[in-house]
């Protein structure tokens, strides 16, 4: 294999590897009932029965679900 072709393959490989490392950070989902929000600490009672405290950073996205019926609307 000519050296120029090897360099192209190496460059393409490095490009794809770099893109793989630039992915979004790990997302962790915690389900349960919010017990307390004090400052930047969120306390959640999980469905498994334990209670966890989570440090909430300013750029964190939170979402909530509320069960409803169509007749409630």
- The pLDDT, as a whole number, for residue 39 is 87
Closest CA to 60 of 36, 30, 32: 30
Structure tokens of 19? 């893109």
- The pLDDT, as a whole number, for residue 1 is 62
- The pLDDT, as a whole number, for residue 22 is 57
Extract the residue ranges of the chain whose pLDDT is less than 50.
Answer: none
Query: Average model confidence (pLDDT) for the chain?
Result: 79
- The pLDDT, as a whole number, for residue 51 is 92
């Amino acid at each position: 294999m000519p050296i120029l072709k090897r360099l192209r393959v190496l460059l393409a490989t490095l490009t794809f590897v770099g893109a793989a490392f630039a992915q979004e950070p790990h997302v962790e989902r915690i389900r349960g009932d919010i017990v307390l929000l004090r400052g930047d600490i969120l306390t959640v009672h999980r469905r498994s029965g334990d209670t966890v405290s989570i440090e909430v950073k300013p750029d964190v996205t939170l979402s909530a679900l509320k069960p409803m019926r169509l007749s409630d609307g």
